[in-house]
A and B are shown apart, each in its own frame.
Chain A
Amino acid sequence: MLKFNDISLRNKLILMQVFTSVVVFGIVFGVFIITDVNSYKQRKVDSMISLAQVLGTNSISPIQFQDPEAARKMLEELQTVAPEIIHAEITNKEGQLFASYSKTDADTFSMPRTSHGKSYSFTNDQLFVSNPIISSNEEIGKVYLEVQLTELQQIKQYKYELAFILLLVALVFSLLIAISVQGYLSTRLLKLVNAVRKIRKTGEITKAVEDKGKDEIATLIQAFNKMMEELQENQKKKDEFIGIASHELKTPLTSIKGYVEMLDMLEKENPKKQFVQKALANISKLERLVKDLLDVSKIQSGQLQLEMKEFNIDELLDETVNASQMVSETHRIERQGGPVNEMIYGDRQRIEQVLLNLLSNAIKYSPGEKTVILDTQKTENELIIKIIDYGIGVAPEERTNIFERFYRSKTLAVHISGFGLGLYICRDIINRHNGKIWVESTGKGSVFNFSLPLKHFSSIQQTEV
């Protein structure tokens, strides 16, 4: 069976409009027919009562003179005067039959007797009328008439047929109007539907759907266009990232492959070339890139878990400064500010990851400079760790963007390798420790700060998702 929901929008609109107009016209015609029939009946009653009055007046003397024959003759004239009357009776004061008339082909009399005054009643196709005969303010008898309403049946029949034809005409017209009006509404919606279909089919995000209206359909189309714009923007970002990712992953791979190949050929002849060390250095680079990618996907799926415990921050700071110094041949990394003498509650390994990331950024973005400083500053509630370099700095408009995922500086003229994921991961780790991370830059170099709470251990959630 066809469900209403399965019918196309276009047909639904047509159906609704046709249904509404047919119902409205049906009600209007119904009211007209009922009023017409009622006024016809009222007129009939009025004329029959006045006829009964005339008959009553004329039968006063036959009743008074006990001449039923005269009354009967008078009634027989009804055959020509009012042929729709099929029975007529006159009763005397006691209610006994005085004179009667029956149309030849009519059935036997079946009139209800009424007690007082004038009255009338309808059956399906008959009208009964009774009227008292008054002489000298005294009721001396009654006139009863039974009227066959053949004319009413004909009028009803005619009205029904007319109403039916008019309804058919209304149906055709409303159908025509509905078809032309729905075109306006459904064309706009169909435009949207076609755009969605095309995107699903080709995967290609097309141009915006054009619409000049201001109604709900226009709002829907605008929302759709906005969504498509955002989708396009995201698609672009993703494409850019894939481009960067494949370049960044292949670059160390190229070195590794080349050095290992050369090692294979020349190992015995030339042991001092350090090919293995170079290959290993590039393997670590690749490892870091892959680790960053995994961390980001963990952050996004909410699976990055912290292992929180108390640890000595001074030990960690010294360790990371030394580790960074080991890999940097170009920069001297200095710790300033003296020992903190505090225990920190947090994930030691993740904090170390943040420190190493910020230190390696400081080295990477200060080519030609010699010093990177790690400074600490203690307030009542928190410890602020600063990583200071004297390199290229961060443009003011980029200071919030650099913590976004896949963000890479648009203003740098030099190529700095990486995915643009490091700071995004750092921010996530620090936020999960209830700390903050921010950058200050005065043109010559930049200061990356992050804070860690010192005392309110209990407020830190153990494993945030």
Chain B
Amino acid sequence: MAEIVMDEVTKRFADGTEAVKQMSLDVGDGEFIILVGPSGCGKSTALRMIAGLEDITDGQVRIGEEVVNEKAPKDRDIAMVFQNYALYPHLTVRENMAFPLRLAKVPKEEIDRKVEEAAQTLDLAQHLDRRPANLSGGQRQRVAMGRAIVRDPKAFLMDEPLSNLDAKLRVQMRTEVSRIVAREGTTTVYVTHDQTEAMTLGDRVAVMRSGVLQQVGAPGELYASPVNLFVAGFIGSPAMNFMPGELSGDTVKTPLGDLRLPDQVRGAVGGVDGGRHVIVGIRPESFEDASMVGGDARDRGMTFGAKIDLVEQLGAEQYAYFQVEHEGVQSDELRELAEDAGSDEVPSSGEGQIVARLESASRISRGADAELWLDLAKLHFFDPSGGRNLAAQ
């Protein structure tokens, strides 16, 4: 068990593309850290550099105080779980899990003991003599984890291990992974493109974009205080709503109306005289059905009217979709997020669509002219060029 330090690590390919750009990350001993980001952001490359499966162009990787840049994967004492499990098809489950121990020339009795123990933890005891081809996806994934656990390594590296499972199984296995990692207490670096997994599993989450680390912090911190537009739009589901706004003195002019900035927000943004174009970010849960909001809470926010296009009733909550008119928000970050989410291909989920999360008891229905309330204390403001969160000075 050891800490992992990435010190200005860069990965440059032969054709000049930089998959990872001077990434510095400290993973504490026993910490469970998640690398998350859209496809192609460099998270898998970073993980493989820690593992030793990719050469490091610049910078250092240290595992437990030791610089491991030149070390072969087998000498780094780390275990890896691959996206498609990479189980040895010609060996049984038992032999798969015993493989690393056999290579390390561990005595046979100890190998048997460790394999049995891991099989008990992972509920694989009755499958030990089967071949991977005869197992289900979830079982194979557990064998892959078992192969990692038996080694008792300095760190676990997991490359999107749940991506190949169907949705329901993924939710179940998420708790399994969490339980196993907590039980073993080993330092874990976990790569995923699913922000839900990132938020639920990690002690800390590191968001990456195009090879650059955007923000590292506890899930709650990333959610409440995203440092830029990209993190704000990436974390949270449904995603944050964005619209253009113009700061002028105490108010910000938005398509929803002129919002009066509450004191704490004004202080954070640093009041600007004269117009200043910003991007306003509002999370769906900052909205509410105006009729459900109590008196004193109302003062904290602002009510406005909206024509509801669509209502999704989820049981515990509802999502209401409505349109606002605006010229559109120009931003590289938003374009990239839309591409990653696939929403740039869907005509209806374009500019101007807002998602609001309402109480499930709300009577608002599709097509209605509803009165909604917006919590002004929960607004985020971003600089359109660069996407920096204006509150994060």
The answer to whether A and B come from one shared complex is no
